[in-house]
Amino acid sequence: MSSKKLDYSIFDKFKFERKPVGVKYSMEKPEGIKPTKKNLALCELFKEAQTSQPFYVKNVQCGEQVLGITEFPPLMYSGQLGPLYAMFKTPGANRRIYDYVPTLPKDSVKYITHASIDKMNFDPDLLIFTASPSQAEILLRASSYSDGKMWNAKGTTCLACAWIYAHPYLSGEMNYTISGLGFSMKARGVLPEGLIIITFPFDAISPLIENLKEMDWDPFWFHLGREGFIKEVPKKTAALLKKFAE
């Protein structure tokens, strides 16, 4: 596993209540890191890493298909579980998700390492944030600050873990969801409701850091109040128009 090259200290400024977590996919056994002794679902792993020592897993209690450890069994593909769990009205509705839900290719990963950001000794393939709305606003604004890219919030009732662990890694796109929406995550009580879970893939992390260094985290516009904002917008706009007219 490669050593850490990026400087992640900018994220200390957020004072996250729940630490960001780095995830590394590898074919080789990570050195100096022990496997977890807990039997956890994929959606529980990043939460576990927030308060534990770094660890790796080879198998998970639920969500192994998302990681390419095994394939979906016929019972899942058939959609029969959807009505049973009150997730979908019909098997057909459940069946449709398997045509688009993202998964890592079969046997392309053997070890999945997790470490909180303060304990990472590697540059991660995924960096997962559990943020308040105000913290998420800064992260999301930073994600598009230099390139104007659209924010993504893709997900499904079941296999919500796929949109955290597979979609960003495969697509190169940041993705976010809200705790309390994913069916299994809600049933397992993984997190309190209303937190913003944001995943950045490896190639989006360095630009995120650079944008956070450059941009204004707390613009004065946020402190004017409604009436002050309404008055200030035309003043600033007029000044800009005058500048361009000169």
Residues 53, 174 within the same domain: yes
| Residue 4 resides in a domain | no
Residues 102, 56 within the same domain: yes
Give the separation between CA 90 and CA 75, rounded to whole angstroms: 14
| Residue 137 resides in a domain | yes
Quote the domain boundaries for residue 38: 9-215
| Residue 164 resides in a domain | yes
194-205 confidence digits (pLDDT tens): 999 999 999 999
DSSP state letters, 80-143: THHHHTTS-SSHHHHHGGGGT---PPTTS-SEEEEEETTT--S--SEEEEEE-HHHHHHHHHHH
The first and second tokens of residue 34, run together, are: 């022990």
Distances (CA, A) of 72 to 51, 65, 91: 31, 6, 15
Residues 199, 82 within the same domain: yes
| Residue 34 resides in a domain | yes
* Spatial contact of 164 and 137, defined as CB atoms under 8 Å apart: no
Residues 165, 237 within the same domain: no
Q: Residue 246 has what pLDDT? A: 74
Residues 127, 237 within the same domain: no
How many Å from the N-terminal Cα to the C-terminal Cα in the chain?
57
| Residue 2 resides in a domain | no
The first and second tokens of residue 66, run together, are: 């998302």
The tally of domains found in the chain comes to 2
Residues 140, 197 within the same domain: yes
Residues 159, 242 within the same domain: no
Residues 167, 190 within the same domain: yes
3-state helix, strand, coil in the chain (%, to 5): 40, 15, 50
Q: Which pLDDT tens digits describe the chain residue by residue (246 residues)? A: 667 899 999 999 999 999 999 999 999 999 999 999 999 999 999 999 999 999 999 999 999 999 999 999 999 999 999 999 999 999 999 999 999 999 999 999 999 999 999 999 999 999 999 999 999 999 999 999 999 999 999 999 999 999 999 999 999 999 999 999 999 999 999 999 999 999 999 999 999 999 999 999 999 999 999 999 999 999 999 999 999 987
Q: Residue 2 has what pLDDT? A: 67
Q: Residue 154 has what pLDDT? A: 97
Q: Residue 4 has what pLDDT? A: 83
| Residue 160 resides in a domain | yes
Residues 14, 60 within the same domain: yes
Residues 126, 226 within the same domain: no
Q: Residue 1 has what pLDDT? A: 61
The first and second tokens of residue 150, run together, are: 């659209």
Give the separation between CA 14 and CA 117, rounded to whole angstroms: 12
Closest CA to 117 of 209, 30, 221: 209
Give the separation between CA 245 and CA 105, rounded to whole angstroms: 56
Residues 105, 134 within the same domain: yes
| Residue 131 resides in a domain | yes
Residues 190, 242 within the same domain: no
| Residue 3 resides in a domain | no
Strands (E), the chain: 21-26, 34-35, 55-57, 111-116, 126-131, 175-178, 196-201
Name every residue whose Cβ is closer than 8 Å to that of residue 81 and which is 6 or more positions away in sequence: 75, 87, 94, 158
Supply φ then ψ for residue 81, to 5 degrees: -75, -25
Give the separation between CA 94 and CA 78, rounded to whole angstroms: 8
